[in-house]
Structure 1
């Protein structure tokens, strides 16, 4: 964690502000773009730190968006956490409030129904891209490739076929990691 100049902190805030408007399906759907910005473009984090920050936040109880301030904190301490969190929450919250009020009065119109139906595949695609990005450090390592792929397939099958709470799949992944399988 380093201290960023004010201009970089403002850029971090503005980037997360922009990502907020693209986060259809939740903040996690923009993780690939966050990775590109924080790791590839700016070099403020490495792959392992990025993946660890997301894993840590996802393991904690609470909302899915918890990983955003963790990423900001990794980059610039408390100021980075605040910049990232306010940036990701402000536009989407204001937009959601406005659109939900407008849409609730027009929910039965063909345009609103079509828009809502059209967002479903976009959300699935963004979440799939995030999952792929987060799996690359494990799938890319030959020693853990088979274990990681087996864990991914088992998690997907369990998610699709059962109503098992995600915490149980996280626990299985933790045990697999402790045993050195992944």
Structure 2
């Protein structure tokens, strides 16, 4: 995929990640649906496959789940350069996209989380602080469900993707009801995907 990004577009991408960072109550993964709306649906800067693959790769890799934001930025840079075939220019633009997206996503949340957690720890005995924490829990769960829905529906046609939905339901039930390690589920999903079942 080849796209054209102006300096104004790069600034807009940075500001978009900056603003989404402040909404990332359950972590950056909770903002994935809005990132998808902006990057794939509205701007057409990434494909469905690039978006879903960025999340899947980041989730399979060890480390924090914010890695998917860097992969989105990387893919934006690659697309803006015209793909890997553009050589060193593509790598440079991909690294720029990665750093831009990660900085935009992490900076406000980092500053806000630092100051808010210090304040909340000092006032943890206050009723409003306890109520806020209790009230945020359902919101975080709902945002994570929306992200799961988005990833499960990545192919666009639920009737044709019944196997994907079945795997999603099975994995959800296994995580909810058993102590099976998540790496086994990831391995099973990779195997089923490799065999072409999903």
Q: Quick check: TM above 0.5?
A: yes
**Counterpart in the other structure of 1:34:** 35
Unaligned runs of 5+ in 2: 78-93
**Counterpart in the other structure of 1:79:** 96
Q: How many Å apart are 1:108 and its aligned residue?
A: 1.2
CA displacement, residues 76-115 of structure 1 (integer Å, 9 cap, x when unaligned): 2111111110011001110110011101111111100000
* Structure number having the greater helix percentage: 1
Equivalent of residue 148 in structure 1, options 164, 167, 186: 164
**Counterpart in the other structure of 2:10:** 9
Equivalent of residue 189 in structure 2, options 145, 153, 173: 173
Distance 2:108 2:175 in 1: 31
Segment of structure 1 superposing worse, 106-115 or 47-56? 47-56
Native 8 Å contact 1:139 1:148 kept in 2:
no
Distance 2:52 2:95 in 1: 20
**Counterpart in the other structure of 2:178:** 162
RMSD across aligned positions (CA): 1.5
Match runs of 1:17-166 below 5 Å: 17-76=18-77, 77-138=94-155, 140=157, 142-143=159-160, 145-166=161-182
Native 8 Å contact 1:38 1:45 kept in 2:
yes
Distance 2:115 2:28 in 1: 19
Distance 1:2 1:139, change over 3 A: closer
Q: How many Å apart are 1:56 and its aligned residue?
A: 1.3
Distance 1:82 1:74, change over 3 A: same
Q: How many Å apart are 1:35 and its aligned residue?
A: 0.3
Distance 1:104 1:174 in 2: 41
> Normalization by structure 1: what TM-score?
0.94
> Normalization by structure 2: what TM-score?
0.87
Q: How many Å apart are 1:137 and its aligned residue?
A: 2.5
Distance 1:147 1:136 in 2: 11
Distance 2:18 2:170 in 1: 35
Distance 1:10 1:154 in 2: 41
- Between the two proteins, the alignment pairs up a number of residues equal to 181
